[in-house]
Amino acid sequence: MPKELLVQVTPEIAANPELIKSHAARLLQLPASQIQSCAVLKRSIDARQKQIKINLKLDIRFVGEAPFERLITLPDYKNVANSKPVVVVGAGPAGLFAALQLIESGLKPIVIERGKDVQARRRDLKAINRDHLVNAESNYCFGEGGAGTYSDGKLYTRSKKRGDIDRILNLLVAFGATPEILVEAHPHIGTNKLPQIIKDIRECIIAQGGTVLFETKLTDLIVENNRVRGVEVNDNQRIETEAVILATGHSARDIFELLHRKKILIEAKPFALGVRIEHQQRLVDQIQYSCDDRGPLLPPAPYSIVKQINGRGMYSFCMCPGGVIAPCATAPGEVVTNGWSPSKRDQATSNSGIVVELGLEDFKPFAKFGALAGLEFQKQIEQQAWKLAGESQRVPAQRMADFTQRKVSADIPKTSYVPGTTSVELGEVFPKFITETLRAGFIEFGKSMRGYLTNEAILHAPESRTSSPVRIPRNAETLQHPEIAGLYPCGEGAGFAGGIISAAIDGEKCARAIALHH
């Protein structure tokens, strides 16, 4: 019978299938000749000790047994061209996977996306990087595939209880992702690979009778007697439907403002905010792997760090090994940073958001904005950063040790952030409580990761779009808004997800709830 085996081996063994097979045979006290195949099901790195180990979960098949094979197929999608329509607002992971699930459930998705398709988005990304021009409808956050398409494609989630993670990963592989994402503990597709996968999902939706409309912006929800009757798009066109999945992402501020204006219940939500820090990847490797050179057998090292500083959480967020920092503003007059890595993670630099937890009490100066208080807090910091850096897409930047010592950096070396930097004392960007938490926290980070606190590391401000500053509530069982029947708040923008996988899972959940109730 096939046997699963957990082993811990050196990187040299992990890189060689024959050595893995020999190692497994020794553990099983069998000759290697009796093993037909030895497939790696899961792989993770244990770098806690000086001698780095690789954890492997193996599928062992013995002579005479069929070798292990992953069967990756798409569901049996039916044509839904003449089925009941459901409007899906947003073509990010929540919206796209909701659309696929709707098709699987026999309903017709009409996906409306304010931005452009993946190919057309590239021109607008080039404009923000090269010409400092922000297209409010097409940027790193808005457009086909959502924010993850051009800002990394990390597939790791801690949300094990949210739903079937393997199902989402399998669907991604069926649409063209490498099967390695099923094996790695921290799977990652990469910004260079995601666009084609997203395009293939879109073409599948259309082929099965669904509709995908680009440059189509939700401008009103049509509600009668507390029930959804349709949507208005681009200020002049009505699409009738009895169900709307609102999957607009965490940066669609106009949607929050629309709901607030229509007196549809929304709530301020805590989130986190801080800076994006860039180190040389080689330094991170040296710290994490305790070696001068990681060599060809180990991937660029990530890190994850969490501290409590004066009663507040401060932690690394969206760490990008071998990656770069990108400009992620969604409107003129603001500066926002994010990070991403290509699939090979082969850039010389690494970066990570380092953010401070905020509570609702921190938004009290913006209380007059009600449920939008956190959004206005966030907006003020992004606008302040824009002014301080020269009213362009340049970002305020400071050397790390200088920041902890309250010194303006005499110079800022060229970083991976293409629009450029301006030397600023970052205490001018943030409220004092955030600045002081970051200063104290970086000193603590330096104690945990020797060498991390260095003046060669550059802080870029702000990292402000970690999660939505607003929650759109919903009934825990029906997933509908508590006041508006047929409105399904979904994904990151509604406050129910945090990343590609959890957003995709939430999209599927909302689609299944619609199939149940409509």
Cα–Cα dist 342/325, whole Å: 12
pTM: 0.95
Same-domain check for residues 442 and 473: no
Judge whether 365 lies within some domain: yes
Same domain, 505 and 452: no
Length of the chain: 518
Q: How many CB atoms lie within 10 A of CB 274?
A: 28
> Are 53 and 94 members of one domain?
no
Closest to 457 measured CA to CA, from 280, 320, 300: 280
| Res. 159: pLDDT tops 80 | no
Question: How much is the average pLDDT of 169-196?
Answer: 90
DSSP state of 225: T
Return the pLDDT at 371. Answer: 98
* Among 194, 185, 165, 156, residue whose Cα is nearest residue 504: 165
pLDDT of residue 163: 65
Is residue 43 in some structural domain? Answer: yes
- Rounded-to-integer distance, Cα 353 and Cα 466, Å: 9
Q: What is the count of structural domains for the chain?
A: 3
> Of all residues in the chain, what percent carry a pLDDT higher than 70?
98
pLDDT in tens, 309-333: 989 999 999 999 999 999 999 999 9
The answer to the question of residue 357 being in a domain is yes
Of 46-60, 101-115, 207-221, 395-409, the poorest mean pLDDT is in: 46-60
> Are residues 90 and 198 part of one domain?
yes
In a domain, 68, yes or no: no
Q: Are residues 253 and 306 in the same domain?
A: no
Decide: 455 and 402 in contact? Cβ < 8 Å. yes
- Contact between residue 339 and residue 458 where contact means Cβ atoms under 8 Å apart: no
Task: Tell me the average pLDDT across 64-68.
Answer: 92
Domain assignment of residue 71, yes or no: no
The CATH number covering residue 157 comes to 3.50.50.60
Helical ranges in 153-240 per DSSP H: 165-174, 194-207
Nearest by Cα to 332 from 98, 504, 131: 131
Q: State the pLDDT at residue 408.
A: 97
Q: What mean pLDDT do residues 124-138 have? A: 96
Alpha helices in 105-146 (DSSP H): 118-130
pLDDT of residue 27: 96
75 occurs within a structural domain:
no
Name the band, by pLDDT with cuts 50, 70 and 90, for residue 160: low
Chain segment 449-507, per-residue pLDDT in tens:
999 999 999 999 999 999 999 999 999 999 999 999 999 999 999 999 988 999 999 99
Mean pLDDT of all residues belonging to the chain: 95
52: domain range? 3-62
CB atoms within 10 A of CB 384: 19
> For residue 190, what pLDDT band results from cuts at 50, 70 and 90?
confident
Residues 347 and 439 in one domain: yes
Answer yes or no: do 279 and 423 share one domain.
yes
Cα torsion 103, 109, 111, 117 to 10°: value is 40
**Does residue 309 sit in helix, strand or coil?**
strand
Residue at 70 is within a domain:
no
Distance CA 461, CA 96 (A): 31
Closest by Cα among 39, 68, 53 to 183: 39
Confidence class for position 419, pLDDT limits 50, 70, 90: very high
Same domain flag for 457 and 372: yes
> At residue 170, does pLDDT exceed 90?
yes
Listed residue (429, 431, 434) closest to 357, CA to CA = 434
And the tokens for 409?
């950096």
Residues contacting 474, CB < 8 A, separation 6+ = 480, 481, 482, 488, 489, 494, 496
pLDDT band with cut points at 50, 70 and 90 for residue 154:
confident
Could you tell me which residues are beta bridge partners of residue 38? 60
How far is residue 73 from each of residues 97, 193, 504, measured CA to CA in Å? Answer: 16, 20, 18
The reply to whether 339 and 472 lie within a common domain is: no
E strand or H helix at 159, and its extent? none
Q: Is the pLDDT reported for residue 335 higher than 80?
A: yes
Question: What pLDDT was estimated at residue 225?
Answer: 97
- The answer to the question of residue 168 being in a domain is yes
Are 39 and 139 members of one domain? no
Residue type at 6 in one-letter notation: L
281-305 pLDDT, tens digit per residue, is 999 999 999 989 999 999 999 999 9
| 462 SS3 class | strand
498 burial (CB, 10 Å; 0-12 / 13-18 / 19+) is: buried
Statement: residue 151 has pLDDT above 70: no
CATH number for the domain spanning 29: value is: 3.30.70.2700
Q: What type of residue is 344?
A: K
pLDDT tens, position by position, 342-362: 888 899 999 999 999 999 999
Are 31 and 51 within one domain?
Answer: yes
Residue 388 near residue 422 (C-beta atoms within 8 A) = yes
Q: Residues 219, 284: one domain? A: no
Instruction: Tokens for 459, please give them.
Output: 């802080």
